[in-house]
């Protein structure tokens, strides 16, 4: 499914050759339900599946022969059901070898890493060891009562009983962060900044909720009493029901928003700037009662607003954030964004139809402080958007789609081919300070390469690029556009 090894380094070299200076990544946490990076087992940990096995063989933690017979996995998509058990077996073997033989400087580095990251690592490693013990399919609310409620005696017994497994999960994090650090340093050497992603919510089945239930709206059994989502809108008649537990912002505020500040600090230690997901939810969030099957019956509840962001800025300094200000955006939301000087986002795919934000998404209306996208991970690819009917993810009629396509042709002066390059050129020619496009759009791929279809629980997050697709010709074309528009 791809990793932090040599192919990732070659990708950064491609970006350098193409004149690109920013790489935006999805959340890098350990994925859980549906393999979604927005449903992770921890808001602080890294995904062990991104660890390069090649690097482990170079360190002598895996025999080179273990990679001589890699199964025939698909080239253009991640087959998680097959890859995960195969790769986890090798990762566990490397971890056990490390704990059996590591000594000297590398052992000291590991112990220092565990000490430095203990505020989240101790709970995360125990959480994962307990998940393994109880069967990976079980949410923590189904565990034995003692560890479910984090009673001192049960926790101490679990740490003793699962010491070896805890050490394995700590090794995975040690190796992930070492490999990410090396890749990030290569990005810097190539003049490429990295934009990370902080989801507003965390998964219910996570070390974060289990370790700090007081921060979340849970009932006596630990189940969410209210769940997150967004209301019905032009794109969905029933809204989106995400299922994440809601925050108890009063409790977080009473502690000076310490958990959130630590979360932002941890991410900023890994990246250069952050896309802050669902920025609208910090001003007011859509709360849906537990048990609902759609988001229709939710209500808006005031969030922490500027107070939280001011606390984070006081603790961390000027925040290099991009506000994901999509959806139902009110003047109050924009006032907070402008107060802190965070650039907002514009999506060109949404510019030509009946989306209420459409006029703001048209390049001639951009302010300079804008991050403009052809599309996002939640959109179809630009080619897919142009060639498909658009049904299945929107309330648009056939007539709506016809008018949208006609306006797109007029606006971009299309000659009937290479819609993806027309989109990329339009954004590069705009005054927007930053332009981002999914790699699928640079490659001109269709719906088969879509990353995510919101509202669906399976079949997403699977696309991956073949290294051979990143050709010198593609790099030259991107560099030419970048230089033409002085980006």
| Helical spans, DSSP H, in 190-275 | 207-211, 249-254, 258-268
Q: List, in sequence order, every beta strand (DSSP E) within 214-368.
A: 226-230, 240-245, 273-276, 284-289, 299-302, 321-323, 344-347
Given the residues 3, 175, 378, 441, the one annotated as active site:
378
Residue 218 CB: number of other CB atoms within 10 A?
A: 20
Q: Residue 455 has what DSSP assignment? A: T
Distance CA(407)–CA(122), nearest Å, equals: 55
Catalytic residue check, 324: yes
Distance CA(79)–CA(83), nearest Å, equals: 6
Catalytic residue check, 378: yes
| Helical spans, DSSP H, in 102-162 | 104-116, 118-134, 145-148, 152-161
Distance CA(354)–CA(10), nearest Å, equals: 41
Given the residues 13, 262, 277, 433, the one annotated as active site:
277
Residue 264: left (phi > 0), alpha (psi -120 to 50), or beta? alpha
Contacts (Cβ under 8 Å, ≥6 apart) of 468: none
Given the residues 175, 205, 324, 404, the one annotated as active site:
324
Distance CA(131)–CA(161), nearest Å, equals: 14
Question: What's the pTM value of the predicted model, to 2 decimals?
Answer: 0.96
pLDDT by residue, tens only, the chain of 487 residues? 899 999 999 999 999 999 999 999 999 999 998 899 999 999 999 999 999 999 999 999 999 999 998 999 998 899 999 999 999 999 999 999 999 999 999 999 999 999 999 999 999 999 999 999 998 878 999 999 999 999 999 999 999 999 999 999 999 999 999 999 999 999 999 999 999 999 999 999 999 999 999 999 999 999 999 999 999 876 678 898 999 999 999 999 999 999 999 999 999 999 999 999 999 999 999 999 999 999 999 999 999 999 999 999 999 999 999 999 998 899 999 999 999 999 999 999 999 998 889 999 999 999 999 999 999 999 999 999 999 855 445 667 889 889 999 999 999 999 878 999 999 999 999 999 999 999 999 999 999 999 999 878 889 999 999 888 999 999 999 999 999 999 9
């Amino acid at each position: 499914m791809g990793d932090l090894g040599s192919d990732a380094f070659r990708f950064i070299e491609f970006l350098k050759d193409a004149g690109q200076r920013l790489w935006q990544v999805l959340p890098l946490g350990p994925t859980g339900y549906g393999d979604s990076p927005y449903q992770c087992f921890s808001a602080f940990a890294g995904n062990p599946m991104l660890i390069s096995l090649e690097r482990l063989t170079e360190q002598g933690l895996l025999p080179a022969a273990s990679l001589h017979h890699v199964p025939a996995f698909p080239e253009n998509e991640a087959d998680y059901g097959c890859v995960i058990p195969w790769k986890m077996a090798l990762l566990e073997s490397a971890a056990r070898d490390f704990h059996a033989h590591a000594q000297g400087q590398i052992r000291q580095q590991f112990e220092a890493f565990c000490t430095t990251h203990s505020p989240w690592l101790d709970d995360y490693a125990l959480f994962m060891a307990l998940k393994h013990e109880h069967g990976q399919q079980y949410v923590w609310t189904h565990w034995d009562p003692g560890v479910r409620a984090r009673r001192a005696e049960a926790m101490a017994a679990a740490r003793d009983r699962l010491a070896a497994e805890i050490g394995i999960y700590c090794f995975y994090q040690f190796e992930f962060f070492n490999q990410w650090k090396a890749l990030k340093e290569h990005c810097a050497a190539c003049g490429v900044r990295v934009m990370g992603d902080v989801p507003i919510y965390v998964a219910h089945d996570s070390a974060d909720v289990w370790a700090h239930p007081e921060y979340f709206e849970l009932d006596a059994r630990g189940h969410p009493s209210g769940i997150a989502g967004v209301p019905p809108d032009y794109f969905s008649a029933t809204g989106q029901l995400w299922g994440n537990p809601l925050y108890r912002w009063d409790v977080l505020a009473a502690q000076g928003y310490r958990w959130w500040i630590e979360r932002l600090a941890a991410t900023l230690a890994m990246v250069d700037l952050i896309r802050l997901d669902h920025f609208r939810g910090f001003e007011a969030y859509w709360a849906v009662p537990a048990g609902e099957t759609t988001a229709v019956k939710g209500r808006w509840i005031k969030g922490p607003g500027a107070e939280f962001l001011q606390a984070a800025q006081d603790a961390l300094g000027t925040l290099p954030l991009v506000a994901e200000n999509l959806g139902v955006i009110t003047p109050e939301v924009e006032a907070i964004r402008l107060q802190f000087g965070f650039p907002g986002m514009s999506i060109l795919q949404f510019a030509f139809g009946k989306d209420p934000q459409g006029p703001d998404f048209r390049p001639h209306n951009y302010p300079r402080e804008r991050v403009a996208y052809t599309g996002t991970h939640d959109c179809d690819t630009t080619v897919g958007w142009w060639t498909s009917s658009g049904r299945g993810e929107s309330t648009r009629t056939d007539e709506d789609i016809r008018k949208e396509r006609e306006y797109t042709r007029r606006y971009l002066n299309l000659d009937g081919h290479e819609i993806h390059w027309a989109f990329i050129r339009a954004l590069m020619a705009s005054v927007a300070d930053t332009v981002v496009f999914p790699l699928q759009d640079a490659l001109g791929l269709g719906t088969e390469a879509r990353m995510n279809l919101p509202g669906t629980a399976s079949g997403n997050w699977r696309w991956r690029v073949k290294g051979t697709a990143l050709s010198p010709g593609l790099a030259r074309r991107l560099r030419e556009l970048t230089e033409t528009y002085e980006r």
